[in-house]
Structure 1
Amino acid sequence: MRLLGTLALSTLLVGSILGTPAYAGHHGPPSHGHGDGHGPSLQWDETVVDADQGFRGLDAVDRRTAWVTGGSATEGAPGRVFRTTDGGRSWDDVSPPGTEGLLFRDVEARGKNEAVVLAIGPGDASRIYRTTTGGASWAAAFVNDDPAAFYDCMAFYPDGKRGLALSDPVDGRFRILSTRDSGRSWKVLPDAGMPAAPTEAGFAASGDCLVTAGRSAYFGSGGGASRIFRSDDYGVSWTATDSTIPAGEAAGVFGLAFRSPKEGIAVGGDFSAPGDGVDAVAVTRHGRTWRNAGDLSHLGEDVAYLPGRGARLIVTGESGDVKGTSVSRDGGRSWTRVSDDGYHALDCTRDGSCWAAGANGRVARLAR
């Protein structure tokens, strides 16, 4: 969404009630959660990678490898891509060349060497780059040539070959970009199977406004309506349903996560009232209709299922000085706020690690 191309970028997170202790490392002071007596506090090992960057793109591969992408707080300065392969102890700048003024908002990685990154913006500011050399070299896989398009986020299917990228509506319909060769080449799909969306847009808040689950893909919208769109044919046709998250000029669905192809969660809020998290969570058990779940006390920019913990979830968000992180033990029906710090992006891996990234170049890893 064009609005998020101008929003400022901000901080950290952490929690308590999950029952598994973890300890902060030497990169920075631990964040202190509220705690509620259910178990020891969890702490993040947080570091500032590049204070000039606001990170909204994050893909954690495993407990050792993660990629983050951002945009500079200095007008016209380069957007950056960073990678760690040692659990966050060090981060390497592996940015593509010639990225002055670009805002990298999403990254999809297949390991320590292969990644695809998305820059957002109108016209040719929307670009996709791909590396298979850990960022030592990059290929420009797509440069948008339509001034009406504005790409927000992307996602790959589990096979790593098929992927989609989402643009704000062009001529009243969301535009979908598709790849079948792991991001080497992209093409715009016909919009005949896309429902009309004359007043809606996507939010480039966390890189998770578009996600895949099995053979299904989902994305959320905001603006004149707040809906969730679903495709079961690799982006060719879509159905749309009410998300139950309130719509508004700066409000709607910001991020999604799925536990299975049918069971998932959507989070959002209103950037014009970031302290109001009422009705900011919706859940589905079959992927076709959504119902309102527990309220938050802050924005929900991104959400993740905690690895190995069933229906337990963590959600985070930040907007200027208003930040927060909450956890749920019951699939999103109720939430406990565990920190007054928050991030833009969140990702948990199958091997039990969780990572977060946000404004002022902050990245954190939850050691387990």
Structure 2
Amino acid sequence: MKKITLLILTFTLIVSCYEKYIPRNIENIKIQEFKMDNTSIRAIVAIDANTMHYAGSKADVGFTSDAGKSWSTKHITYQDSIIPHFRSLAKNGDAFFALSIANPALLYKISKEKTELVYTENHEKVFYDALQFFDDGLHGIAVGDPTEDCASVILTADRGNSWSKISCDNLPEFADDEAFFAASNTNIKTIGSTVWIASGGKKTRILKSDDFGKTWQIFETPIIQGNGPQGIYSIDFSDKNNGIIIGGDYSKPTENKANKAITKDGGKTWTLVADNQNPNYKSCVQYVPNTNGQEIFAVGKTGVSFSNDAGNTWVEVSKDDYYAIQFVDKNTAWLSGNQKIGKLILE
């Protein structure tokens, strides 16, 4: 018995050593830029090093499957006159879902066979900000600014074919002027049946559900708050416990006070990191896959920054302005911005 116990302990120690993160020696970071005229792109779905999809501000949804050598684009109009401004895009199975901001809210399911409108909402205050699916493929969620005294949250449980809005009776009450930012489609994060949503404005808080959006909790954060452009613009988790939020004040993008925080308990409590240090305002933050939650990239109109110690310290790697970033592997990511797409390579 002692021998078996010793073998198990030895194996555990070996596995732990292999899992320990060793910072990489990244000698070069390249960003290849692709011009995308007349559209602002805040929502992307990165598939692999050759394939990515986007949704833009001029009712355009498009993709490349040859690493950016060529692009296919389609335009979607509503009732022949309304041009949807898309800031949310998600993939589920073989279909893509694009959601517009402003009134009316328009959510399209796009497949090779057809494009169909699966949800509409008319309200003077309607403004949807982000859209994601859960790992099971059945459930999906989109979040928008309040039309009453709670967040606007719509759910699907049938792969996106139909959507319904949650009653405020089942959601935490929001403060006046607390809302969301449609900056990069990353103020929602899902893992398993859990979803986190980050707010801003009057309050900067985290809404969390562990059951596909049926029941909710809400947690305070120390991120800058108090008026419209202040708050959390992006959230990501490396696992169910460890996560990061980032944002700042869009109207004062060079400021870096109280704009980055991390959690180690699944979003219940948050601790500021690199406070009063760069990076300053950012609209998107993403963990690099397979780096044990240590490597992180953040992008925004103030440039591209990188951390290899879980967000505690950062370096600026590019002054190029981008809205969003999404990794496909440890060395490759796609980015989007104003009239451009980028492809980032780590060497």
SS in structure 2 of the partner of residue 52 of structure 1 = strand
Answer yes or no: is the 8 Å Cα contact 1:62–1:351 preserved in 2: no
**2:182 maps to which of 204, 213, 225:** 204
1:265-295 Cα distance to aligned partner (Å, 9 max, x none)? 1111111101112221111112121111124
Answer yes or no: is the 8 Å Cα contact 1:152–1:202 preserved in 2: yes
Q: CA deviation at 1:328?
A: 0.5
- Paired position in structure 2 for 1:96: 76
- Paired position in structure 2 for 1:229: 207
Q: CA deviation at 1:351?
A: 6.7
Residues 100/84 of structure 1: CA separation in 2 closer, same or farther (3 Å cut): farther
Mapping of residues 327-342 of structure 1, within 5 Å: 327-342=306-321
Q: CA deviation at 1:352?
A: 4.4
Is it true that 1:63 corresponds to 2:49 in the alignment?
A: yes
SS in structure 1 of the partner of residue 289 of structure 2 = coil
Answer yes or no: is the 8 Å Cα contact 2:128–2:142 preserved in 1: yes
Residue type at the aligned position of 2:33? E
- Paired position in structure 2 for 1:114: 95
Q: CA deviation at 1:249?
A: 1.6
SS in structure 1 of the partner of residue 229 of structure 2 = strand
Answer yes or no: is the 8 Å Cα contact 2:77–2:84 preserved in 1: no
SS in structure 1 of the partner of residue 223 of structure 2 = coil
- Paired position in structure 1 for 2:160: 183
Q: CA deviation at 1:97?
A: 4.2
SS in structure 2 of the partner of residue 244 of structure 1 = coil
- The alignment's C-alpha RMSD in Å is 1.8
SS in structure 2 of the partner of residue 192 of structure 1 = helix
State how far apart, in whole Å, the 2-side matches of 1:307 and 1:236 are: 29
1:86-110 Cα distance to aligned partner (Å, 9 max, x none)? 2222211033344743210011124
Q: How many residue pairs align between the two structures?
A: 316
Note the residue ranges of structure 1 that are not aligned, 5 or more in a row. Answer: 1-17, 20-37, 72-77
Q: CA deviation at 1:146?
A: 3.1
Q: CA deviation at 1:171?
A: 1.9
- Paired position in structure 1 for 2:253: 274
- Paired position in structure 2 for 1:41: 28
Residues 189/221 of structure 1: CA separation in 2 closer, same or farther (3 Å cut): same
Is it true that 1:353 corresponds to 2:335 in the alignment?
A: no
- Paired position in structure 1 for 2:17: none
Question: What TM-score comes out, normalization by structure 1 length?
Answer: 0.81
Residue type at the aligned position of 2:85? L
- Paired position in structure 2 for 1:25: none
State how far apart, in whole Å, the 1-side matches of 2:91 and 2:330 are: 16
Answer yes or no: is the 8 Å Cα contact 2:76–2:84 preserved in 1: no
State how far apart, in whole Å, the 1-side matches of 2:329 and 2:30 are: 19
- Paired position in structure 1 for 2:151: 174
SS in structure 1 of the partner of residue 143 of structure 2 = strand
State how far apart, in whole Å, the 1-side matches of 2:272 and 2:328 are: 27
* Structure with larger RCO (C-alpha < 8 A, sep 6+): 1
SS in structure 2 of the partner of residue 170 of structure 1 = coil
Which has the higher Rg, Structure 1 or Structure 2? 2
- Paired position in structure 1 for 2:265: 286
Answer yes or no: is the 8 Å Cα contact 1:214–1:260 preserved in 2: no
